[in-house]
Amino acid sequence: MLELDRLTKTFGGRTAVDAVTLTFPKPAMIGVIGASGAGKSTLLRMLNRLSDASSGRILHEGRDVTALRGAAKRAWQAECAMIFQQFNLVPRMDVVSNVLHGTLNKRSTLATLFNLYPESDIRRAIDILDRLGIAEHAAKRAEALSGGQQQRVAIARALMQDPAIILADEPIASLDPMNAQIVMDALRRIHDEDGRMVVCNLHTLDTARRYCDRVIGMRLGRVVFDGGPDELTTDAAREIYGADAGFSEAATSTAIDALDRPGPAAAVVAAV
């Protein structure tokens, strides 16, 4: 359903994403891992068309997304939701209004400027919030919520877009382990229940192993690993991060059960 063809992004003389070619035949939960500056964020931003590709193509259901302009580009962005590390909500607006922003592409500019949304949309927004377990905060300002709650509001905004693809750029990097798990569980559930494709940039290997069907490792803009979570061994991780034998994942793991987990636990996905 989604195909990247020699996708490249250069900033000045620096190549952030270097001829990435990937094929995703069906919706799956994809994890993208790699060191800071490996081009993970740039890749996601190009998929959402927040930034333009320098060369190469993105094909969705056979349609060239990279060539879209104006209204067609915005319609694609509505189809391909984005979740950010720092949540990127409007802090002074209430939670439901933030979720309703997911429908901006479908509504007239004038009506939305006056914060006028159909009642059915408001009902749906609150249902989505309830699904994510934060309906009781509906009327609060987004800034009054904790980080984990704000990220779930951001997920609700993404769901409000009713997207085919959800891109998540380090969704749990600013969250504590408990909230990180709630957010990752929510993303996994969205994939399992709605059949949406989820592409998730991650910092932590155990998260990628635990939640993803397929893991893509990037280093210096290139794809250096592409395989199932069980193939992501410590050697593979060293290759992705360009680390030497001194690299140990357990040293900085943020998983609550990292201390007593025996080894890579891909089976945990079933427990979600």
Partner 1 sequence: MADQTMSGADALGGVDRIRENYLAMARTRRLYGGLMLVVFIALMASGFIVADERNAGGFWDGVLNIFDFPAEVLSEAREKIANLPGLMVKFLPSLVETLNIAAASTLLGAVAAVILSLLSTRGLARYPALIGVFRRIMDVMRAIPEIVIALVLIFVLGGGPVPAMIAIAFHTAGALGKLFSEVNENASLKPLEGLESVGATWPQRMWLGVIPQVAPNYLSYALLRFEINIRASAILGFVGSGGIGYDLRNAFSWGQGRYDEVAAIFLLLFLTIVFFDQTSSHYRNKLVGRV
Residues that bind partner 1 (CB under 8 A): 96, 114-116, 119, 122-123, 126-127, 130-133, 135-136, 138-139, 182, 185-186, 189, 272
Shortest gap between Cβ of 31 and partner 1 (angstroms)? 18
Shortest gap between Cβ of 62 and partner 1 (angstroms)? 35
Between 200 and 216, CB nearer to partner 1: 200
Between 133 and 195, CB nearer to partner 1: 133
From CA 227, how far away is CA 152, in angstroms rounded? 28
3-state secondary structure of 245: coil
Joined together, the tokens standing for residue 252 give 């900085």
Shortest gap between Cβ of 94 and partner 1 (angstroms)? 8
Beta strand pairing call for 214-219 and 29-33: parallel
Between 7 and 100, CB nearer to partner 1: 100
The continuous run of DSSP H or E covering 59 comes out as strand 55-60
Between 126 and 220, CB nearer to partner 1: 126
Shortest gap between Cβ of 169 and partner 1 (angstroms)? 22
Joined together, the tokens standing for residue 245 give 């034998």
Between 32 and 129, CB nearer to partner 1: 129
Number of helices (H), then strands (E), belonging to the chain: the values are 9, 10
Shortest gap between Cβ of 186 and partner 1 (angstroms)? 7
Between 47 and 172, CB nearer to partner 1: 172
Shortest gap between Cβ of 240 and partner 1 (angstroms)? 29
Crossing angle for the helix pair 147-160 and 177-194, to the nearest 10 degrees: 20
Distances (CA, A) of 195 to 34, 109, 159, 187, 252: 26, 30, 12, 11, 33
Between 116 and 250, CB nearer to partner 1: 116
Q: Which residues pair with 225 in a beta bridge?
A: 217
Residues 6+ away with beta carbon under 8 Å from 164: 1, 27, 60, 79, 80, 196, 197
Closest CA to 197 of 216, 214, 180: 214
Shortest gap between Cβ of 1 and partner 1 (angstroms)? 26
